[in-house]
C-alpha cells in the first residue's frame, strides 16, 4: 500500500525502493501486480516455500507409523532412513511428523485379557440402550465401583524450575470408597471405611440407592469383583428391585466411575503430602462431598460424558 501511495505521489521506482528499504525489482513487481489484479492481487500471498523431499514419501512413512508409532524422534529418523534412504536432522524429522498430524501423546493401557468384541457388543446392545432410557427419564442408571486410596506419595507432573520432591507419609493407611454415580445427574452415593469392602458393604450401598431413587427402575452397571458378583448381592438386589448389569471381564473403560476415581487422584492426591491418616481421609471425603458444587459440576460434565472408548486392537511398540 505504501508503494502504491508513493508512486501516486510521483516518486520514481528507485526512490520508493530506497524509502521502503526493498529492491527496485520488488517495487516493479508490486506495481505490475496491481496493474494486473488490483488491490486483491496485492493482498494475496502465493509464496509456498521449499518442498521437503520427505513429503513425496509421506504415504509410505505414515502407513508405517500408523502400524507402529515410533517411541522417539530418534527412532523415527532411523525408520525414515530405512524406508526412504533420506537422512534428516532430529528437528526436521519432528517438523515432518507434525506436518503429518502426529503429536507426542502418552500411551494408554488396557488389560491384556480384555475382549474388544465383547466390549463393543456390550456397549452397543446393552449400555447405550440403557443410557438412552435414562436420558428419557424412564429409569435410573448407575455405575458402581470401589477405589482404594493408599496414604503414600502420589507423583505427578508439575511446572517447576527444578525437580520437586514430595514427602512420603509414614504408615500404610488405606481409605476404601465404594460408590455409585448416577449416569445423567452425576450424583454420587458412597460409603467409606478403612478395613475392607465386602458383599455386606455392597448391600448397604444398594439400600441407600434403593431408598433415595425409588419410583423408577434402577440399573447398576458394575464389574465382576467377587464381593459384587456373589449370590448374596444378587439376591439383595432382586429384593430391592435393582437390576445388576455386569460388565464384560476386564472392561474398566466402560465403567464411568473409574474416571471419577482418576479425577480424585489428580485433584486431591497428586503431588500432595498429608501429615496423617485423618487429614488424608478428610481431604478425599470433603472433595467427594462437594461434587454438587457449580464449579465442580462444570468439570464433571466433561470428564463424565457418556462417551466410552472401545479398543479394536492394542499396539506393541517394541521394535
The tens digit of pLDDT for each residue in 44-103 reads: 777 666 778 898 999 999 999 999 999 999 999 999 999 999 999 999 999 999 999 999
Is the pLDDT confidence value at 319 over 60?
Answer: no
Crossing angle for the helix pair 24-42 and 13-20, nearest 10 degrees?
80
Q: Which of 102-106, 162-166, 287-291 has the lowest mean pLDDT?
A: 162-166
The DSSP symbol for 50 reads P
Q: Mean of the pLDDT values across residues 254-264?
A: 95
Q: pLDDT of 189-231, one tens digit each?
A: 999 999 999 999 999 999 999 999 999 999 999 999 999 999 9
* 119-303, CATH topology level: Nucleotidyltransferase; domain 5 (3.30.420)
**SS3 of residue 132 by DSSP:** helix
> Is the separation of the CB atoms in 144 and 179 below 8 Å?
yes
Q: pLDDT of 130-145, one tens digit each?
A: 999 999 999 999 999 9
Is the pLDDT confidence value at 312 over 70?
Answer: no
> Is the separation of the CB atoms in 278 and 91 below 8 Å?
no
- String of DSSP letters for 155-201: ------SS----PPPSS--EEEEEEEEETTT--EEEEEESS---HHH
pTM above 0.85, yes or no: no
For residue 316, what pLDDT is reported?
A: 58
Domains of the chain, by residue range, sit at 2-42, 53-99, 119-303
Q: In whole angstroms, what is the distance from residue 267 CA to residue 188 CA?
A: 17
Amino acid at each position: 500500500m505504501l508503494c502504491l501511495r508513493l508512486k501516486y505521489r510521483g516518486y520514481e521506482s528507485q526512490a520508493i525502493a530506497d524509502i521502503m528499504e526493498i529492491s527496485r525489482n520488488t517495487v516493479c513487481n508490486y506495481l505490475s501486480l496491481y496493474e494486473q489484479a488490483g488491490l486483491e492481487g496485492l493482498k494475496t500471498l502465493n509464496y509456498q516455500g521449499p518442498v521437503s523431499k520427505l513429503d513425496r514419501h509421506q504415504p509410505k512413512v505414515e502407513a508405517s507409523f500408523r502400524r507402529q508409532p515410533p517411541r522417539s524422534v530418534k527412532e523415527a529418523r532411523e525408520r525414515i532412513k530405512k524406508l526412504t534412504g533420506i537422512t534428516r536432522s532430529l528437528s526436521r524429522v519432528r517438523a515432518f511428523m507434525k506436518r503429518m498430524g502426529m503429536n507426542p501423546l502418552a500411551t494408554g493401557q488396557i488389560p491384556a485379557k480384555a475382549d474388544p468384541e465383547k466390549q463393543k457388543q456390550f456397549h452397543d446392545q446393552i449400555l447405550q440402550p440403557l443410557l438412552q432410557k435414562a436420558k428419557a427419564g424412564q429409569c435410573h442408571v448407575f455405575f458402581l465401583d470401589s477405589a482404594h486410596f493408599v496414604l503414600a506419595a502420589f507423583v505427578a507432573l508439575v511446572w517447576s524450575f527444578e525437580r520437586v520432591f514430595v514427602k512420603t507419609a509414614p504408615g500404610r493407611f488405606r481409605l476404601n470408597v465404594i460408590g455409585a454415580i448416577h449416569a445423567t445427574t452425576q450424583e454420587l452415593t458412597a460409603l467409606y471405611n478403612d478395613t475392607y469392602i465386602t458383599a455386606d458393604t455392597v448391600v448397604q450401598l444398594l439400600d441407600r440407592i434403593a431408598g433415595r431413587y425409588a419410583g423408577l427402575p434402577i440399573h447398576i452397571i458394575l464389574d465382576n469383583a467377587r464381593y459384587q458378583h456373589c449370590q448374596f448381592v444378587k439376591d439383595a438386589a432382586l429384593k430391592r428391585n435393582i437390576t445388576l448389569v455386569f460388565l464384560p471381564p476386564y472392561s474398566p473403560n466402560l465403567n464411568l466411575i473409574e474416571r471419577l476415581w482418576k479425577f480424585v487422584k489428580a485433584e486431591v492426591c497428586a503431588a500432595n503430602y498429608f501429615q496423617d491418616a485423618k487429614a488424608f481421609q478428610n481431604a478425599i471425603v470433603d472433595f467427594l462431598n462437594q461434587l454438587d458444587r457449580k464449579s465442580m459440576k462444570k468439570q464433571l460434565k466433561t470428564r463424565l460424558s457418556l462417551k466410552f472408548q472401545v479398543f479394536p486392537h492394542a499396539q506393541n511398540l517394541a521394535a
